[in-house]
Chain A
Amino acid sequence: MIQNGINTLADSYITHPVAQPEDKMQFSEEAVAELEEIISHYPERKAACLPALWIAQREYGGHLTPAAIREVATRLGTSQTEVEGVATFYTMYNLRPRGRHHLEVCTCLTCAVMGAYDVVHALEHALDISIGETTADGEFTLSEAECLNYCGNATVVQVGDHYFPDISPSNCLNLVEELRKSEKYTPALLADSLVKIQTPGASLKGGGSFKAEEI
């Protein structure tokens, strides 16, 4: 159907970048400033989609809700579908809530050969969950990761913004106990580190959650 030269039928399939009435924009003032700084690195606003989703993941407490995706679309002036397409493509964006610590065990070639599946089974047993599940207390989510590219120190487990190398069935239980006590390595802190890394001058300001001395 064509009215006034506009194909209204085709337009009806486009999700406009307009927030739903019940949405409340949740980005803090600081987050908006960070987003605008990152947008200025690119020739167009839309290009900041990945960093914007990282900011959203942090601001919305570790995972992306539909409202978070709509907020990113509104702030970038693009459509909700487009942002949703990006958010669903990349594995590090959490579309569901994760535990306070997300254990990602690398089980790709070298790690698999060096015993990653034994680590997975030991963790499954210790946490009483299977791969992809979250413990009842919301403390841990366990998943299998594709190559984390630290093959020299197989098996590697990524938790938040940190790689734990040389994990074996015997020392993985210590890791779990350590993490239980730790305030660090949460999904929101991972997102925070990734945003800070993309902000020029962040290292001079002390750098948020991530301290370079820890490397």
Chain B
Amino acid sequence: MAILNLLFEHRDVEGIGNIDVWEANGGYEGVRKAAALEPQVIVDEIKTSGLRGRGGAGFPTWIKWNGLPKNYDAPHYVLCNADEGEPGTFKDRELILKIPHLLIEGMILAGFATYSKVGYVYIRGEYVEPAWQLRKAIDQAYAKGYLGKNILGTGRDFDIYIHMGAGSYECGEESALMSSLMGERGNPRLKFPHAPLPTVAGVWQAPTLINNVETYCAAAWIIKHSGEEYAKYGTEKSKGTKIMSVSGHVARTGNYEIEMGTPLMELLNMAGGVKDGVLKAVIPGGSSVQIMRPEQCEKINLDYESCGANGTLLGSGGFMVFNDKTDIVQLMRRTSQFYMHESCGKCTPCREGTRWLFKILDRIASGNGQKGDVELLLDVCSQIDGRSYCGLGDAAAWPIVGAIKAFRSEFDYWIEHKRSPIGNTFVPPVVEAVNPVLALTSV
């Protein structure tokens, strides 16, 4: 198990964003193949592959694809969630920037499979460069007849429109994204079972399919090759590959496409090991998941089950590495500031709770912590977790509970001594990389 470039196969080919180069490298073969297939065959192929949603939750993709009404009677919509906002994640940016045609292919296939005629790509407003590449790619695909009316003579129509966001983390949540697409504030809505699934009543109350960029890209790969081929990779329940965005104190940051089930430490080694010091902590799946100590990291394999069994989540693949010069309390203060800023304000536990979390953590990290503050934090977290419309509330609480569990002594040190156990700074000097395995033995 190691690096396995399925989606990234042609990433480094010169001019691959251009449709001619893309076609010369086997591009749009999947669409040509699917043009002759019944929609149900496409869904079944996705089912065979065992693909699960790559946006964070890991929901089986085929169930969504299978859930839309199987006729053209009323409009259906295919949405692509490219509102990548999870701190630590930058895979969708690279997918759209380097290989935009793979996403377009995936969306066309989803359109065929779900009897949809219109697709929207919701891209965050900051991603101007990737979005511009996608604009170019879509215009080229229209010119070649892969989009528009009567695609490849099949009689099926499919249009893709780009919808730019305007700066909101909350809009990466599917129901908030739909609100935003409809021209409203990005507030989430009630979820199943209290409200119908998006596949029944989504955007404009029409059946809607919504997936992450990486999921559509994987679907395009699966239809081009085959579901069985994809299912050969990965573990029993987590099939295929996952793109991990490695950042922080590592020698070689960047996106690594790995086979599901690759040991966490192996990915760290691939990225050149910890920079400037020894490993202190890893956040494996973006800021919303629990932080892991080095001894926990050794046990984790990067798949949905192994991460879950070890008390964290694979999430969106924002893999952040921190060395021993990182102050965890300050890190959590910054995390809670993020969620405070991004809470949309719809439900009270999240709107008020994220503010209190920040206030308490700010108090601790500025040397004014009081006895009992840690218990207070845990109490506030328990009042947010599971009590908001969307996952933002949970995501604000989990990392703080996780950090207190893993690094309780640092919180206590701050409260008792009114200063950082590390030295009050976020800025360690840079030296050469060391082998993380060797570095671990000195912990």
Contact = CB atoms under 8 A, between A and B. Distances in A.
Given A47-B181, A47-B183, A50-B180, A110 B320 contact: yes
Given A108-B287, A197-B128, 5 more contacts: A41-B161, A51-B163, A149-B89, A154-B247, A194-B131
Interface in A89-122: 89-93, 107-110, 112-118
Contact of B334 (A91, A107, A198): A107
A194 B128 contact: yes
A108 B139 contact: no
A212 interface: yes
A54 B166 contact: yes
Most buried by A among B162, B181, B183: B183
Contact of A197 (B97, B131, B167): B131
Contacts of A113: 248-249, 322, 326, 331, 426
Interface stretch (A131-139, A172-180, A203-211): A203-211
9 contacts: A42-B183, A53-B166, A91-B167, A92-B125, A109-B283, A113-B331, A150-B93, A151-B89, A163-B129
Interface in B258-304: 283, 287
Contact of B183 (A50, A112, A150, A196): A50
A86 B131 contact: no
A110 B247 CA distance: 7
Contacts of A141: none
A44 interface: yes
A150 B336 CA distance: 20
A92 B331 CA distance: 25
A90 B87 contact: no
Interface string B49-89: 00000000000000000000000000100000000111111
Nearest to A169: B427
A81 to B, nearest CB: 11
B135 interface: yes
B132 A193 contact: yes
Contacts of B248: 110, 113-114, 151
B86 A147 contact: yes
Interface of A: 41-44, 46-51, 53-54, 76, 82, 85-86, 89-93, 107-110, 112-118, 146-154, 158, 161-163, 190, 193-194, 196-198, 200-204, 207, 210, 212, 215
A90 B168 contact: yes
B226 interface: no
Contact of B184 (A49, A110, A115): A49
B108 to A, nearest CB: 16
A146 B204 contact: no
Contact of B84 (A82, A115, A149, A154): A149
B87 A151 contact: yes
B133 interface: yes
A151 B253 contact: yes
A163 B131 CA distance: 13
Nearest to A190: B128
Contact of B287 (A82, A86, A109, A215): A109
B142 interface: yes
A151 B164 contact: no
A115 B169 CA distance: 23
Given A86-B183, A152-B90, A91 B166 contact: yes
Indicate the size class of the contact surface on chain B: 35 or more
Interface string B108-147: 0000000000001000111111011111101100110000
Contacts of B166: 50, 53-54, 90-93
B186 A89 contact: yes
A202 B125 contact: no
A166 to B, nearest CB: 10
Contacts of B168: 89-91
Contact of A49 (B84, B132, B183, B247): B183
A44 B184 CA distance: 12
> Chain A CB within 10 Å — which of B166, B186, B338 has the most?
B166
Contacts of A108: 87, 287, 334, 338
Contacts of B128: 161-162, 190, 193-194, 197, 210
A42 B180 CA distance: 13
A49 B184 CA distance: 7
B126 A92 contact: yes
Nearest to B131: A197
B164 A54 contact: yes
B161 A198 contact: yes
Contacts of A46: 182-183
A109 B334 contact: yes
B334 A86 contact: no
B331 to A, nearest CB: 7
Contacts of B185: 85-86, 89
B249 A197 contact: no
Contact of B132 (A92, A146, A147, A197): A197
Contacts of A148: 126
B204 A43 contact: yes
B107 interface: no
Residue of A76, A86, A147 with most partner-chain B CB within 10 A: A147
Contacts of A54: 164, 166
B134 to A, nearest CB: 8
Contacts of A50: 163-166, 180, 183
Interface in B147-193: 161-169, 180-186
Contacts of B169: 146-147
Contacts of A207: 132, 135
A31 to B, nearest CB: 16
